[in-house]
Amino acid sequence: MDDIYDRSKWPQPEVNPLVQLLLRPGDWVTNNELATALELVNTTRSKSVVGHYRSLVNEIGPEHTKLERGGPLVKHRHAVRYFTKKALVRIAMRSQTRNAEAFRDWVATRMAKEFANG
């Protein structure tokens, strides 16, 4: 298993897919985009973020996730789960992956600078 705390293996913010999802325009990201950015391992024939974190919907609240058929970010007709940017942050805060650890460090650095500047 990869050591997620090995900073030499962390992606820089400009190439970290979690940072890029957070910074892009729009309010929602798809389950597949988030699972791919987190580098979740496919454990049940689907890369379901909710499947990896069973209490997730209760934790983030129903207003921060939705199921839709199709939509602007997908080209097929089956139901797709979407997450808000706030949910993305909360999910990344609990995920144990290299990208998530680098994302948490990036967020902490930005917050510390913001609070230091008043």
Task: Tell me, yes or no, whether 7 lies in a domain.
Answer: no
pLDDT digits (tens, 9 = 90+) for 54-99: 677 888 888 999 988 766 555 666 788 899 999 999 999 989 999 9
Do the Cβ atoms of 67 and 80 come closer than 8 Å? yes
In a domain, 68, yes or no: yes
Please tell me the pTM assigned to this model. 0.83
Beta strand 65-69 with 79-84 is antiparallel
Q: Is 27 exposed, middle or buried (0-12, 13-18, 19+ CB in 10 A)?
A: exposed
Q: Is residue 118 part of a domain?
A: no
Report yes or no on 91 lying in a domain: yes
In the chain, the number of structural domains is: 1
Establish if 70 belongs to a structural domain: yes
55 located within any domain: yes
More confident residue, 55 or 107: 107
Supply the range of the domain harboring residue 34. 24-111
Mean pLDDT of 102-115: 95
